[in-house]
Structure formats: C-alpha cells, structure tokens
C-alpha cells in the first residue's frame, strides 16, 4: 500500500458502510414482507411505480452532485481543509435547491399528463416531489460523511430511519390511506436520514455551524462541481433509468400487480448491489486523492466485492421460490425474475469497480460510454420483451443489459491498462453456484441452504487460496483489536492444516 492510502481508516469506513448495506438489504426485505401482509398487491404495484417514477426524476434533479462533489470533498478532508469542504457543501446545497425547484415546477406543469398516464392524483404528485427533495438531500449528506471516512454513524442512522419508516407505513396502511400512505411512509426513511446526517455533519464533522458565507467561492466551486457532476450525472441517469424503467414498463403493459411482483424481485437485487457498492462508494474519494496504485486498489475492490457478495447472491438463485413466496402466494411468480436478476450481480461488480476507477481519473467519456453500453440494450429489451414475457421479460432485459455493460468494461479496461483476472472471478462464481445447486438438489431447507452455501464457499475459497491470508488480515484489521487478534490466530491455525 502507498503511504498516502490510509488503509485502516478506509477499511473501518468501508466496514460501517457494509453494515449499513447489509442493514439496508435486511430492513428492505422485512419492510416489503410486512407491507405485503397488510395491503394488497395492487397497492404495492401502484406505490412501487410511483416510487420508481419519483426516483428517476430525483436523479435528474440531483444532477449527479452527490457523486461529483466526492472528488473535491475527499481531497479537502485528506488535506485537513475543513473550511474548503464546508464551502463545497454549501455550494452543492444551493445547486441542489435549484435542480429540485426546477423539476418540481415541471412536474406540477405536467400534472394532467401524469394523471392520464399513471393515474397519480395531486396528493401522490406532491408526495413524489417530497421524495425528490428528501432523496437528494440524504444522498448529498451521506456522500460528505463517506468522504470524511467518519462513517460510524451510518448504520445507526439507517436502522433508526428504517424502523421509523416501517412503523409509520403500517399505521398509515391500517388507517386505510392506501397508495398515499405507503409511499409517504416509504420516504420517511429519506426525511429522517437527511435530518440525522445533517446533524452529524454539523456536530461531528464540521464541529459547529456552517458559518461560511454562502456566496463565497460560489461561482468557482459551482463550475468545478458541475463539470465533475454532469459527466457523472448523465451515466447515472442512464443507469437509473435502465434499472428502474422495467417497473414502469411492466406497470404500463401488464398492470399494477405484475409491476409489484417485479419491483419486489428487483428490490432484493438492489439491496444486494448496495452491499456490493459499499467498497466502491468509499473508494472514489480515496482513489481521487491518490497519485499511484489506483488500478491495483480498484481491482482489489472488485475482487473483494465479489468474494463478499457472490456466495450470498448465488445461494438465492436456487431458493428464489421460497424467498419470493414469503411475500405471499401471488408473488411466487416472481421467482424466475429474481433468478434472472441475480445473474447480473457479477457483471455489476466489474462495472461498479471500473466506473469508480474511471471517475477517479476523470475519464468521463469512458464513464458515459459504459453507461450507454449497459442502458441502451436494457431499455430496448424492456420494450421488446415485457409485452411478451411480462416481469420475466423485464428481468431478462435488465440482466442482458448488465452483461453488455460488462463486455464494454472488458474493452475499456484494456484501453486504460486495468488487468481483470477473470479466472479468480470465475472460480468464486462456480464454487458458490455449485454448492448452492447441490444443497437445493438435496432439498435442504432454504435458510440452512443459504447459510451453508455461504459458509462452505468461504471455507473452499480459503483452502484454494482465492481468499488469501492477506485478505483475511485486511478484513480483520478493521475490527476491534481484541477481536482481530483471536481471529488472526484461528485463521493462521486453519491455514497450516
């Protein structure tokens, strides 16, 4: 590791983000599991379409600022320039306000069209606008916290917000508020997270009020942020549209119930990729502050992400019917969609790691090409396959688009000199799927099957040196010292046998 790369700080920062990601996956599944028991699949389908619609608009309104700012915030924090970081945050808030206001005006102006296409009344449209504002503020504040590497507050904030979201949603649904209650309850997570993250920024990271003059350096900072953000924003919009458009297309062609089934399957995969992206999230500000070793660190991020996430995602492929069936009998039809969507996890690992590296170098043209290579096939396939194969067609379009993006990643990697060791990635995938297939063939209970698949995968990968002693030491280093010492001895003893 280079001296500039604060390995332990980054490792601990990533660990808290992983905990947040795992919490996101579990809480998201529990949320929709509980909701599916107290409301109808039609309400879930309509609500999921509204959430998807608002999320796409939110990404457009955000202009990619939460990504673009990380280069500058990360550098300021590494140089201990807190005042400079404050200035960039304030400028970003002002720019976000402009974007949110503009999109809100456009949405209200198009109210009649939206109502005719989606049947969303004014109340639902106002909820969508609230989602747009709270989502963007939450994403910006979270990016600043991540860039500071002081991420220990993130898991607690997310757990608190998730519990509040579940409680409020259940109360509103019991009161008979339907789609409006479900969607409003859903965005409580964003609202509360924004408040809590803002409090952390003021009290812990910036040590007091944001007393910087709001207009100081606004024009200079705006130019820097917008140049960095827009080039990330276009691929980000493309990626979000590509991943989320399937729900809207299914809603428009097959109805609310099918849209709800597909949305829940996609939510599970999105939760998994959130965990996968945890390391990439903290890698961007870190890589941006480095002069050397970027490619090696980017490959390690790809490799470690696949090691962490593939055993779990591959185990779900063979137990998708049981996982979807927990929502209710009518959701079991989404098991094939879930299986197909899970096949996109490995390509997304490669795409995510390469995108992070390209952003750190400022290779924005390649970022755009990579985003288009994935999203254009996805969009075209949605339109072609959903009318024929319903939710399964949307899942096919999503995963095939990810595969196309992965092929583009290989070509771009060669151009910039990033070496991808496909043999290692292939072995991780084959080991995990083989164990999962064997256990499901033996009709092992799905809970035991998932747990055993994960455990046996790591044991075998450790035994054949795909997971190395250095990897385990890197993971253990971020734990408390009294825990890591005992585990290091255990791993060392195991490796000798």
Q: Is 1 domain-assigned?
A: no
Q: Are 210 and 85 in contact (CB under 8 A)?
A: no
Q: Is 113 domain-assigned?
A: yes
Q: What is the pTM of this model?
A: 0.76
Residue 5: the pLDDT is 43
Residue 280: the pLDDT is 64
Could you tell me the two tokens for 346? 């490995």
Q: Is 447 domain-assigned?
A: no
Kindly indicate the confidence band of residue 376, based on its pLDDT and cuts at 50, 70 and 90: confident
Q: Is 98 domain-assigned?
A: yes
Residues 6+ positions from 267 with CB-CB distance below 8 Å? 28, 29, 32
Kindly indicate the confidence band of residue 230, based on its pLDDT and cuts at 50, 70 and 90: confident
Could you tell me the two tokens for 291? 């002069």
Neighbours of 231 (CB within 10 A): 20
Kindly indicate the confidence band of residue 41, based on its pLDDT and cuts at 50, 70 and 90: confident
- Percentage with pLDDT > 90 across the chain: 33
Q: 125 is in which domain, residue-wise?
A: 7-420
Could you tell me the two tokens for 71? 């280069």
Q: Is 370 domain-assigned?
A: yes
Measured between alpha carbons, how far is 209 from 207 in angstroms, rounded to an integer?
A: 7
Neighbours of 147 (CB within 10 A): 31
Kindly indicate the confidence band of residue 156, based on its pLDDT and cuts at 50, 70 and 90: confident
Least confident of 119-123, 242-246, 260-264, 300-304: 242-246
Residue 1: the pLDDT is 40
Residue 4: the pLDDT is 41
Measured between alpha carbons, how far is 58 from 64 in angstroms, rounded to an integer?
A: 10
Q: Which residue has the higher pLDDT, 210 or 159?
A: 159
Of these ranges, 133-137, 288-292, 369-373, the one predicted with the greatest mean pLDDT is 133-137
Cα atoms found within 13 Å of the Cα of residue 339, Cβ hemisphere only? 15
- The dihedral through the CA atoms of 182, 184, 187, 191 has a sign that is negative
Q: Is 488 domain-assigned?
A: no
Q: Is 426 domain-assigned?
A: no
Q: Is 356 domain-assigned?
A: yes
Using the 8-state DSSP alphabet, how is residue 203 labeled?
A: I
- Using alpha carbons, select from 88, 86, 96 the residue that is nearest to residue 209: 86
Mean pLDDT across the stretch 457-466?
87
Q: Are 453 and 436 in contact (CB under 8 A)?
A: yes
Residue 342: the pLDDT is 94
Q: Which residue has the higher pLDDT, 276 or 407?
A: 407
Kindly indicate the confidence band of residue 365, based on its pLDDT and cuts at 50, 70 and 90: confident
Measured between alpha carbons, how far is 150 from 283 in angstroms, rounded to an integer?
A: 14
**Number of folded domains that form the chain:** 1
Q: Are 244 and 382 in contact (CB under 8 A)?
A: no
Average pLDDT, the chain: 82
């Amino acid at each position: 590791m280079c001296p500039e790369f604060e390995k332990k700080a980054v490792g601990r920062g990533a660990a808290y983000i992983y905990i947040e990601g795992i919490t996101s996956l579990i809480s998201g599944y529990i949320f929709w599991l509980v909701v599916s028991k107290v409301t109808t699949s039609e309400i879930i389908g309509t609500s999921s379409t509204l959430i998807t619609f608002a999320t796409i608009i939110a990404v457009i309104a955000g202009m990619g600022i939460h990504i673009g700012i990380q280069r500058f915030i990360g550098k300021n924090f590494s140089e201990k320039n807190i005042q400079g970081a404050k200035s960039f945050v304030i400028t970003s808030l002002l720019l976000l306000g402009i974007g949110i206001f503009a999109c809100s005006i456009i949405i209200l102006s198009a109210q009649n069209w939206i109502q005719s296409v989606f049947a969303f009344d004014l109340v639902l449209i106002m909820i969508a606008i609230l989602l747009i504002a709270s989502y963007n503020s939450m994403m910006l504040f979270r990016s600043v916290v991540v860039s500071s590497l002081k991420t220990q507050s993130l898991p607690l904030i997310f757990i608190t917000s998730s519990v509040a979201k579940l409680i409020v949603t259940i109360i509103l649904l019991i009161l008979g508020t339907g789609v409006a209650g479900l969607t409003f309850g859903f965005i409580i997570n964003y609202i509360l997270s924004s408040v809590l993250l803002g409090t952390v920024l003021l009290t812990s990271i910036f040590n007091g009020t944001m007393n910087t003059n709001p207009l100081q350096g606004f024009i200079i900072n705006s130019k820097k942020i917008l140049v960095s953000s827009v080039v990330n924003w276009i691929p980000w919009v493309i990626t979000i549209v590509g991943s989320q458009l399937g729900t809207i297309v299914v809603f428009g062609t097959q109805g609310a119930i099918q849209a709800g089934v597909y949305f829940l399957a996609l939510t599970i995969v999105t939760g998994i990729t959130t965990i996968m992206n945890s390391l990439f999230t903290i890698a961007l500000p870190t890589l941006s502050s480095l002069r050397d070793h970027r490619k090696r660190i980017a490959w390690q991020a790809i490799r470690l992400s696949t090691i962490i996430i593939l055993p779990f995602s591959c185990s779900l492929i063979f137990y998708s019917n049981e996982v979807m069936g927990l929502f209710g009998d009518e959701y079991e039809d989404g098991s094939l969609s879930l299986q197909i969507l899970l096949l996109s996890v490995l390509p997304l690992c490669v795409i995510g790691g390469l995108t992070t590296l390209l952003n750190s170098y400022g290779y924005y043209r390649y970022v755009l090409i990579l985003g288009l290579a994935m999203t254009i096939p996805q969009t075209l396939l949605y339109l072609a396959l959903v009318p024929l194969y319903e939710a399964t067609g949307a899942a096919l379009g999503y995963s095939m688009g990810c595969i196309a993006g992965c092929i583009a990643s290989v070509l771009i990697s060669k151009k910039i000199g990033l070496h991808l060791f496909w043999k290692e990635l292939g072995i991780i995938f084959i080991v995990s799927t083989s164990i999962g297939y064997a256990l499901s063939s033996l009709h092992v209970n799905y809970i035991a099957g998932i747990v055993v698949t994960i455990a046996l995968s790591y044991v075998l990968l450790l035994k054949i040196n795909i997971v190395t002693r250095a990897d385990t030491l890197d993971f253990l280093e971020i734990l408390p010292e009294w825990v890591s010492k005992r585990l290091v001895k255990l791993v060392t003893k195991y490796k000798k046998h």
